[in-house]
Structure 1
Amino acid sequence: MAVPKKRTSKSKSHKSYWKNKALLTSKKSLSLAKSLLTGKFTNFVYYKSINDNL
């Protein structure tokens, strides 16, 4: 006999969504930090303060 599949509750599916979103954000920030440390950044703009040049 065919047995219907169990349904995933909404709370479990939302937890999965937020975990994946957090994982993606952490990967992006780690990648940006690595590129800043090596000096190979191309898509990140930051401004130095005027006091740094003095």
Structure 2
Amino acid sequence: MRDIQILQQTIENQCPDIHKKRLRSLMLATKAVLDGSNLTLTKIGRALSTLIPQ
């Protein structure tokens, strides 16, 4: 998704000291919310399980 790429680049530029794994977690959670359209902890967790390869 292009919007996720733009957000990630913006965060990397504005917060150059952010840890790579923290940025990845933030991007996965953001994608889960965008795909699921619901902002509840349970729904984010369920959406994350489909995004993370086993």
Q: TM-score range by the shorter chain?
A: 0.3 to 0.5
- Which of the pair is proportionally richer in helix? 2
Larger Rg: 1 or 2?
1
| Bigger RCO (CA 8 Å, 6+ sep) | 2
- Give TM-score scaled by structure 2 length: 0.38
- Give TM-score scaled by structure 1 length: 0.38
